[in-house]
Copies of this chain bind each other. A is one copy, B any other.
Amino acid sequence: MTTSHAIRHIRITPIAFRDPPLLNAAGIHAPWALRSIIELETDSGLVGINESYGDLPMLDVLTKAAPSLVGLSPWSLTEMEARVAALVTPPAQTASEFLGQQVSLAPGTHVSKNVAKVVSAFEVAMLDLQGQLAGAPVVDVLGGAVRDRVPFSAYLFYKYAEHIDKPPSCGYPPDPWGEALTPEQLVAQARQMMAQYGFKSIKLKAGALPPDEEAAGLLALAKAFPGTPLRIDPNANWSVATSLRIVEQLRGVLEYYEDPAPGLDGMAAVARECDVPLATNMVVTDFAEFRRNVDMGCPVKIVLSDHHYWGGLRATQQLSRLCRTFDLGLSMHSNSHLGISLMAMTHLCASVPLLTYACDTHYPWQDEEVVEGGRLCFEGGSLRVTTTPGLGVTLDRTALARLHDNYLHCGVRNRDDLAQMRKYDPAFTGAQPRF
């Protein structure tokens, strides 16, 4: 009698963890970031885990799709995709129409991405199970490692010193990063992050302050860290004219220019007048948009993928093949996340030869963890891919209970950077492009 490794139980646990008051095009981060922890348990008692988005609509579709996994083999990824697609109702509009109507810094919150997001949430946990069954790390199940560590970049934000709704007296721990609204404060933030993590490249989240101030910030970074690759990401909050004016100020400094202007048409207008390669996580966010970029002659030259909304690790590997075929670069986007998500990215990135840029991660902005052993350790700005079977990280159940308790008590149920910003500035409209 053979042991059954069929999936028997699915657990989806919403969690919340502290997040600093980081400024961006949409507004500002709330004091709590949400994620979901996915556990798939087999008849044989193995548990595969993953971490994904934790907003209410995502929890709703995850819960709706979960029963379709019962009885499925951890190897049946394509069947899982078909079952999820059948259960998760797509929005009435097509994805591209939907995306064309709204510009957002976070494709991961679009309902148009529901199928891809749920598929990814389950796929990584199934790959974790596959690795455990095969006695191989997830990177091996993905074709084997082409590098044993994956470089990430320092992800700088303009920010306030403290959350408006978390006064020092309330018990919410003080923010160790302090205010960053000037070039000097930004350089100080970079020095602190580089010293702590050893990053070798820098990304600046822009689109928050007036563009000339942000350009001054980037030039200050260039002066403080000569030779370090630099990027700026205004999250499409600049007009085409502003994008072109600012890139002139940054001539010779940028490694790539991420989502300066809104829409693929806006990006194409910038690309026509600008010789710095354009990168995006906003206008090439699925395979249909990839094709549209090709049809337009590839104004976007670097796709910043994110396996959480591209449909998983294998879909991102397929995206890598498309990028190679059409001579595009590839790197990775990130949201506020913890160690499971970060380790899944690391296994993926260790498997992709094309990955020629350091990846984004919000990880330094978090101070909590849900995996055993606590916070993951960077060495020289890189994370080492684990070599034990599966993802190489396991749940710390005490931490999970604490983070779930955070969720129950924090009151946040959806990410809403605009509403949070209105607490600071009631006149803030969030209309884009703002500059």
A interface with B by C-beta (< 8 Å): 73, 75-80, 82, 130, 133-136, 140-141, 143-146, 287-288, 290-291, 294, 314-315, 317-318, 321-322, 324-326, 351, 353
Contact = CB atoms under 8 A, between A and B. Distances in A.
A323 B353 CA distance: 22
B294 A146 contact: no
B75 A140 contact: yes
A326 B144 contact: no
Nearest to A137: B75
Contacts of A82: 146, 353
A353 B291 contact: no
A135 B2 CA distance: 11
Contacts of A294: 294
B287 A75 contact: no
A325 B288 CA distance: 6
16 contacts: A76-B145, A77-B143, A78-B146, A79-B144, A79-B145, A82-B146, A133-B135, A133-B136, A287-B321, A287-B325, A290-B325, A291-B325, A291-B326, A315-B321, A321-B322, A322-B322
Nearest to A314: B143
Contacts of A135: 133-134
A75 B136 contact: yes
A314 B317 CA distance: 10
A353 to B, nearest CB: 6
Contacts of A315: 321
A139 to B, nearest CB: 8
A190 B375 CA distance: 67
Nearest to A317: B318
B79 A146 contact: yes
List the 9 closest pairs (A to B, CB-CB), nearest first. Answer: A75-B140, A76-B144, A134-B134, A318-B321, A77-B143, A287-B325, A78-B143, A75-B144, A78-B144
B324 A287 contact: yes
A294 B298 CA distance: 13
A46 B236 CA distance: 54
Contacts of A136: 75, 133-134
Which of A73, A78, A80, A140 has most chain B Cβ within 10 Å?
A: A78
A124 to B, nearest CB: 14
Contact of A78 (B75, B76, B318, B353): B353
Given A73-B140, A143-B314, A314-B143, A78 B351 contact: yes
Contacts of A75: 136, 140-141, 143-144
Nearest to A350: B78
A314 B320 CA distance: 13
Contacts of A287: 321, 324-325
Contacts of A353: 78, 82
A79 B139 CA distance: 12
A315 to B, nearest CB: 8
Contact of A325 (B77, B80, B134, B322): B322
A182 B385 CA distance: 63
Given A78-B353, A134-B133, A318-B318, A144 B73 contact: yes
Nearest to A287: B325
Nearest to A351: B78
Nearest to A76: B144
Contacts of A290: 325
A326 B317 CA distance: 17
A287 B290 CA distance: 16
